[in-house]
Structure 1
Amino acid sequence: MGQQEKVATSLAGAVSEGISASLAPVDAELERRYPGDPGTRQPVHTVYVPGERFAADTIRTWGDKALEMLDEHAPDAASFAAVLGLGDDLAEAVYTRVRTKLEREPVEDLRVDFEDGYKGADEDQDAARAARLIAEAYGNGTAAPYMGIRMKCMEEAVRDRGIRTLDIFLSGLMEAGGLPDGLVLTLPKVTYPEQVTAMVRLLEEFEKARGIERGRIGFEIQIETSQSILATDGTAAVARMIQAAEGRATGLHYGTFDYSACLHVSAAYQASDHPAADHAKAVMQVAAAGTGVRVSDGSTNVLPVGTTEQVHDAWRLHYGLTRRALARAYYQGWDMHPGHIPTRYAAVFAFYREGFGAAAKRLAAYAGHHEGGGVADEPATAKALAGYLLRGLDCGALDAGEVTRLTGLTLARLQGFAGPRRGDLTGSGK
């Protein structure tokens, strides 16, 4: 040990105390507005099914149809890898995991649609049936991890219908035994923060009527209009929408086609990689950062149907868009057809498996306080590395054993690096 330094100070303790007192309101505001990510599992996709078509076997049917498409158009790892451009080192692992996922947990998040996709003749009956079937699915173990409905929006023409459908659906769940943990609601076509406030008041009244703890029911905000990104006063309306939700907002979902049409983008160019889409999602991402609200990409309307060549073309497009979104930290998106989910999972699994070795090495080096990872990482990057590995575990791209082996970390320590409140890891299929 060298010579002990003489430590001198000039400020009285009262100075620090006074500054802390003056910043106490700011500290409280930061905690309220920016609580951080909830640490729960985020599904990699959301599947939308029209309310009149939703049935008890919908999830299994989607999985079976996806498997049939693989059998017909890519019956082995080599053929699937050739379509998507996967390297030999990933081909077998990705293909095997995709098939396993489709067999065990084909859908991670399902929304029964009572908005644009709904063409039913009796919405009351369809909403009541959706509640019964979802309650039964959670009861018998066939549910997706997350399920719920997309109601109609808060615009005047459909407002009353949307409110009634939501009431019927939530009441049906309560009559069947209560609200499931995986319940998710989606409010579409939000233009003004006041519409979000109206949704909050609606849910408060339902909770009060049913004796439910205040704040129990959250909802996603769907961004489908230019006014939700840039308000008339030049501010980012989406940021005010998050605050208007009073802690109930769980996600921001980008609506590819409504938003594109709002900006008069020609139909042939309406896609999630259009510059207008990139701008909207970038604003959403910045507005949501630190708030605990997740951002979801939209969908492609190019369906994998027709000849094998047509299916392969659609698969390559969907795979590329999904990989592009993941690189931009949009970890969730929409899927509109059973044929989309093989490439959804292929893109997600390839994304995590490609970067697994490097991420594990860097985190192990950071945890061991040495430079073996080749990068001088900081706490924020260590948090990102741990979060990356945990997302890979959540969806089934990675296995707990291999993550522990390469990082030298238990799951508890891994979760510690990612931050508090990490939810239960359900892995690749319950």
Structure 2
Amino acid sequence: MGLEDLLGELDRRLAGADAALAADYPGDRWVRQPVHTVYVPADRYDARTVEAWGAQARDALDAHGTAEQLAEVLRMPDDLAGDVYDRMRAKLEREPIEDLRIDFEDGYGNRPDEEEDAAVVAAARVGKRSPHYGLRIKCLEAPTRRRAVRTLDLFVKEGGVTDGFVVTLPKVTSVEQVETFVLVLETLERTYGTPELKFEIQVETPQAILGADGTALIARMIQAGGRRVTGLHYGTYDYSASLGVAAAHQSMEHPVADHAKDVMQLAAAGTGVFVSDGSTNVLPVGDAVHAAWQLHFRLVRRSLARGIYQGWDMHPAQLPTRYAATYLFFREGFDQAATRLRAYLGQGESGYLDEPATAAALAAFVLRGLECGAIDADEVDKLIGVDTAVLAKLARRPIP
């Protein structure tokens, strides 16, 4: 057998594996990932919700967090604290919420059908008020299945779906629930003529991580949902409670949380599905504002260091530390990333021998910083000497 015959035989033998790899791991979608998701109970959502959250976040800063106070409380480096504060304050004015979920599940509770119907219609008429938005419906377990589908059907029927819309499916316990939810979305699209509907899987049951057959069902759930699945969201408290963790120890940094998120990241890698961390229920209110800010700031930074770039925020006063932590993370890492990228492009020395995969990660880091407002385009031009098109190519993204 000659070399060409051998290569042809390899192509034939690996054709199925090649096709499966391309289908199951299409690569990152490289659309903007929001840095957080805010959950607002449906009966509290109106046309002023986003504006009100921004105002309350700024009020919290006025009362408890001048630039000097916040720098001290959060122990931010002196050379970055002022810039981070200014960017965070401007963000709270311009775009306080990046992703908002109108909550018809735990935050809303069980109400009479007529009351929930009225809340659905009202929310649909308010429509989109942030770059990304959507609904969290009730789960597809038997007791709430009909109410969940009724809520989504009514919201779509009332014209609530526009660009950036996504549904959060909570408490998923089986691959079959994902498969049947795809059927629900297909049916709504045909009925109302909507564009393709997307959804997130909320990981808050042990069954999503480890099935009865010993497999990681979350990987099969992603496959079952196909291109409709855009995210995996960790549910801190339901998941921890399901594993018997005492309430006082339920946290985003508990070992059971880290294990679940490790599995989620592995399952999502290469699929284009975003991973989001959960929330902390320690709120910056009353006499505990600074302590709660310290905790939230640390937890957000911890998630970012683990490669999880999104999380939940449950209170307006958590927004300052969400953005402060995010901006500091990218500001602290930008100089080194820029130096290493310049060296990789043959324009200097960095002390690192970076390979293409690391260069892609460095470029993706800078692009994320640009997208969230932590880094400016003129800084990229000055320190790296390239435009976003070059960064996108290095990051293996589609060219913008």
Bucket of the pairwise TM-score, normalised by the shorter protein = over 0.9
Q: Find the aligned partners of 1:335 and 1:81 in 2 and give their Cα distance.
A: 21
Question: Residue 379 of structure 2 is aligned with which of 402, 405, 411?
Answer: 402
Aligned to 2:77: 87
Question: Residue 386 of structure 1 is aligned with which of 356, 359, 363?
Answer: 363
Which amino acid in structure 2 is aligned with residue 401 of structure 1?
Answer: D
Contact kept, 8 Å, 1:191 with 1:227, in 2: the verdict is yes
Aligned to 2:9: 18
Question: Residue 350 of structure 1 is aligned with which of 323, 328, 337?
Answer: 328
Question: Residue 334 of structure 1 is aligned with which of 280, 290, 312?
Answer: 312
The CA deviation at 1:285 is 0.6
Aligned to 1:165: 151
The CA deviation at 1:421 is 2.8
Contact kept, 8 Å, 1:45 with 1:109, in 2: the verdict is yes
The CA deviation at 1:184 is 1.4
Q: Which runs of 4+ in 1 moved over 3 A?
A: none
Aligned to 1:147: 133
Gaps in structure 1 of 5+ consecutive residues: 1-9, 138-142, 424-430
Contact kept, 8 Å, 1:39 with 1:422, in 2: the verdict is no
From the two aligned structures, give the one with the greater helix fraction. 2
Gaps in structure 2 of 5+ consecutive residues: none
Q: Find the aligned partners of 1:348 and 1:191 in 2 and give their Cα distance.
A: 32
Contact kept, 8 Å, 1:151 with 1:166, in 2: the verdict is yes
Contact kept, 8 Å, 1:40 with 1:422, in 2: the verdict is no
1:127-138 aligned within 5 A: 127-134=120-127, 137=128
Aligned to 2:231: 251
Question: Residue 320 of structure 1 is aligned with which of 294, 298, 301?
Answer: 298
1:161-240 aligned within 5 A: 161-173=147-159, 179-212=161-194, 216-240=196-220
The CA deviation at 1:330 is 0.8
Query: Does residue 88 of structure 2 align to residue 98 of structure 1?
Result: yes
Contact kept, 8 Å, 2:341 with 2:363, in 1: the verdict is yes
Aligned to 2:337: 359
Q: Find the aligned partners of 1:391 and 1:280 in 2 and give their Cα distance.
A: 24
Q: Comparing 150-159 with 399-408, which one deviates more in the overlay? A: 399-408
The CA deviation at 1:18 is 2.0
The CA deviation at 1:180 is 1.8
The CA deviation at 1:111 is 0.1
Contact kept, 8 Å, 1:50 with 1:118, in 2: the verdict is yes
Aligned to 1:4: none
Structure 1 residues 422, 113: CA separation in 2 closer, same or farther (over 3 Å shift)?
farther
Q: Find the aligned partners of 1:171 and 1:360 in 2 and give their Cα distance.
A: 48
- Percent identity, please: 55
What CA deviation, in whole Å up to 9, does each residue of 1:274-333 have, x standing for no partner? 0000000001110111111111000000000002xx100000000000001100011000
Contact kept, 8 Å, 1:38 with 1:422, in 2: the verdict is no
Q: Find the aligned partners of 1:206 and 1:14 in 2 and give their Cα distance.
A: 51
What CA deviation, in whole Å up to 9, does each residue of 1:212-268 have, x standing for no partner? 45xx21100000011110111111011111111022110000000000100110000
Aligned to 1:280: 260
Question: Residue 44 of structure 1 is aligned with which of 32, 35, 46?
Answer: 35
Contact kept, 8 Å, 1:364 with 1:409, in 2: the verdict is no
Which amino acid in structure 2 is aligned with residue 239 of structure 1?
Answer: A
Which amino acid in structure 1 is aligned with residue 151 of structure 2?
Answer: T
Aligned length: 397
SS in 1 for 2:394: helix
Aligned to 1:427: none
RMSD: 1.3
The CA deviation at 1:34 is 0.1
Which amino acid in structure 2 is aligned with residue 333 of structure 1?
Answer: G
Which amino acid in structure 2 is aligned with residue 25 of structure 1?
Answer: G
Q: Which has the larger radius of gyration?
A: 1
Aligned to 1:376: 353
Which amino acid in structure 1 is aligned with residue 283 of structure 2?
Answer: L
What CA deviation, in whole Å up to 9, does each residue of 1:103-137 have, x standing for no partner? 00000000000000004551111111111111xx4
Contact kept, 8 Å, 2:138 with 2:144, in 1: the verdict is yes
Q: Find the aligned partners of 1:415 and 1:181 in 2 and give their Cα distance.
A: 23
Aligned to 1:32: 23
What CA deviation, in whole Å up to 9, does each residue of 1:382-406 have, x standing for no partner? 1100110011011101111101211
Q: Find the aligned partners of 1:67 and 1:91 in 2 and give their Cα distance.
A: 17
What CA deviation, in whole Å up to 9, does each residue of 1:400-428 have, x standing for no partner? 110121111111111111113366xxxxx
What CA deviation, in whole Å up to 9, does each residue of 1:350-408 have, x standing for no partner? 0000000000110111122x661211101110110011001101110111110121111
Q: Find the aligned partners of 1:377 and 1:202 in 2 and give their Cα distance.
A: 46
Q: Find the aligned partners of 1:37 and 1:131 in 2 and give their Cα distance.
A: 31
